[in-house]
Amino acid sequence: MAVADPGPSDSAQCEHCAVRSRALCAAATVEGLRDLRRWSRVRQVTVDEVILADHAEAEFVGTVVAGALRQVKTMPDGREQVVGLIFPGEFFGRPFRETSDFSYEAAVDSEICVTERRAFEALLRRHPEVEHQLLLHTMNELAAARERSLLLGSLDTLERVATYLLVMAARREQMLSRIGQDPHFEVAASLISRKDLASYLGTTIETISRHVHHLSRSGIIRIIDSGHFEVLDHGRLLAVSGVTRDDLKLFEAAEVGPPLDAGQIRQQRTD
């Protein structure tokens, strides 16, 4: 073997980073990025691993490179609520606060890029363009979180399932178009376990199973496997969800790419 195994933790190699173009660091200047990577490490985490514990000291902040994290709140009697999901390119953690307000856990095996919190805070001061980008990201997250109030407060469980499928299908569409692939089928990939999904939607795995199969029997979706669904009739799925096309967009808004000017847009092949 010519190259040593990088192991579970390695200093950031930004030039090969899969989310370089759309994560927070994309907004950094050349000096800002050099600064940022000095304090950053890439870490592999395994499913269910606790990355930051609720109420514990929040030692770092980070960005998801691959996989997914769940943001969890646990009640005294043991009830758990997934209050947020964090997908590749998205920022997580709590700058300017000593302890974490939530528990961050790996929803699946994931790769994350973490930065020591105090160093990150100092860096925000030195590089206001990064702080500005973080503000934009946080405001988008806030709008998405508010939209979730609509989902949990006003939608019935069938509508929630339909909405989630639409959001994940759109996310996949977007992801494929980014790498220049043409999605011949509209597919929603759940990406997380049924248990997490149930908690995220404020319902149970049984109810989700029932609704998914109801949508399948209605010919609106096709069940590929328990985590993948082809959207056969987008219009009817949207009608079932009860929400508008515009409101759907708010759910996905968590990801903030910096405004790309024409020169930055990479040539993409469509074949």
- Applying CB under 8 A, the residues found at the interface with a second copy are 55, 71, 73, 75-77, 79-81, 83-84, 94-97, 101-102, 128, 131-132, 134-136, 138-139, 141-143, 145-150, 152-154, 199, 201-202, 242-244, 246-247, 250
Binding at 84: pick from DNA, a second copy, none (beta carbon under 5-8 Å per type): a second copy
Question: What single DSSP character describes residue 232?
Answer: S
Name the token pair of 27: 């907004």
Minimum CB–partner distance for residue 4 and a second copy (Å): 39
Least spacing, CB of residue 71 vs a second copy, in Å: 7
The residue count of the chain comes to: 271
Which CB, 167 or 192, lies closer to DNA?
A: 192
Give min distance, CB of 108 to DNA, in A: 12
Q: Give the one entry of a second copy, DNA, none that residue 158 binds, where binding means its C-beta sits below a cut-off of 5 to 8 angstroms depending on kind.
A: DNA
Q: In whole angstroms, what is the distance from residue 64 CA to residue 75 CA?
A: 26
Nearer CB in complex with a second copy: 230/233 = 233
193 contact, one of DNA, a second copy, none, CB 5-8 Å limit per kind? DNA
Cβ 195 to DNA shortest distance, Å: 6
Q: Calculate ∠ Cα 218-219-223, nearest 5°.
A: 105
Residue (of 256, 257, 186, 197) closest to 224 by Cα position: 186
> In which residue are the tokens 């024409």 written?
262
Residue 257 binding target from DNA, a second copy, none, CB below 5 to 8 Å by type: none
What's the min distance (Å) between Cβ of 95 and a second copy? Answer: 7
Residue 228 or 234 having the CB closest to DNA: 228
Looking at beta carbons only, is 64 or 158 nearer to DNA? 158
Query: Please, what is the minimum distance in Å from the beta carbon of residue 150 to a second copy?
Result: 5
Residue 140 has, within 13 A of its CA and on its CB side, a CA count of 19
The SS3 assignment for 246 reads helix
Q: Interface with DNA by CB under 7 A: which residues?
A: 156-158, 193-195, 202-210, 212-213, 223, 225-227
Strands 228-231 and 187-189: antiparallel
Contact 110, 67 (CB under 8 A): yes
Residues with Cβ within 8 Å of residue 151, at least 6 apart in sequence: 159, 160, 163, 201, 202, 251
Give me the helices (H) in 51-127, please. 117-126
Q: Which does residue 21 bind out of a second copy, DNA, none, counting CB within 5 to 8 angstroms by kind?
A: none
Pair type for strands 9-11 and 60-66:
unpaired
